[in-house]
Structure 1
Amino acid sequence: MFKRILVAVDGSMTSFEALSKAIELQELTDAEIYLLCVYKHHSLFEASLSIGRPAEMDIPDKVLSEYAKDVVNHAKQLAAERGGKNVRGFVKAGKPSRVIVEFAKEKGVDLIVIGTKGTHSDKDGLFLGSVSHRVASHAKCPVLVV
């Protein structure tokens, strides 16, 4: 049924719920799980527009990349605790919905599992998050929105 399941993680509770659902599916299909955290690229110009800057300014991409790596490592740890096996983690920069769809195509993913809302969404909102909506609209494989 499924050989490769992509789980988009961003540190939000809904992304970790999506991971739990992917692990349940893995138990049924023995699929490989790919965890992907996408961070938005920021140029030095964008960083220079910040109103408040520390004395030593880190490059935003470096900070965001490190955070994304932490999110993926945490998700891998959660997956192991929940019985997940054959789990690989990836970090990419770019527009999240576009990168998720492109990554799925590149890796031959059979299913994308994504949370309804991410870290930047209104937790009490009534509508599907913009990233999950775009992924579901543009992916060439099935998308399970959790």
Structure 2
Amino acid sequence: MFKKILVAHDGSNGADAALEQAAGLCKLTEAELVVLTVYRHHSILEASISMVRGNGEKSGNLDDAMKSAAREVGEHSKALVRTLGVSKVQAFIKGGPAARTIVSFAKEKGCDLIVIGSRGVGAAEGYMLGSVSHKVTSIAQIPVLVV
């Protein structure tokens, strides 16, 4: 049925539920699981503004911070999948617009199903994956399971 399943994971409760469903499908079908965490790249203006704190002191690069946070989410999701009994799992992080990045990555990796939570972390909590399930379902050429 399915040979390779992509799960989009942003660290939210909805993404954890999607991960659990994908893990269950992988166990049933003996499919490989690919976990993708997407972080948002910032424009030069956003990055330069974010590098200056209120007191004028420079902080780190915003893209580097987002990449680091995405890496932590990816490692957490990979560990969670292993506790659910799935041994064939790979975790990746990518920067870019979430929905388009998810769909293009699924195509690049030869996935035949995308599993995504219906709601992500949302604008108030950060710039990670967010709630992009509607857009993914509208542009994907493969089946999408929204959890």
TM-score by structure 1 length?
0.89
CA shift for structure 1 position 84: 1.4
Identity across aligned pairs (percent)? 49
Aligned partners of 1:44 and 1:59 also within 8 Å: no
- Aligned twin of 1:90: 92
Amino acid at match of 2:20: S
- Aligned twin of 1:29: 29
After superposition, give the CA deviation of every residue in 1:20-72 in whole Å (9 maximum; x if it has no partner).
Answer: 00011011110000000000001342133349616231111100000000000
Aligned partners of 2:51 and 2:58 also within 8 Å: no
Alignment map for 1:42-121 (pairs within 5 Å):
42-50=42-50, 53=53, 55-120=57-122
CA shift for structure 1 position 82: 1.1
Separation in 2, partners of 1:5, 1:40: 23
Unaligned ranges ≥5, structure 2: 125-129
Amino acid at match of 2:145: L
Separation in 2, partners of 1:16, 1:87: 15
Separation in 1, partners of 2:17, 2:43: 32
What is the aligned residue count?
140
Give the secondary-structure state (helix, strand or coil) at the position aligned to 1:35.
strand
Q: Tell me which moved more, 104-113 or 39-48.
A: 39-48
Separation in 1, partners of 2:4, 2:116: 14
CA shift for structure 1 position 144: 0.2
Aligned partners of 1:32 and 1:87 also within 8 Å: yes
- Aligned twin of 1:137: 138
**Greater than 4 Å deviation, 4+ residue runs:** none
Unaligned ranges ≥5, structure 1: 123-128
Separation in 1, partners of 2:117, 2:87: 21
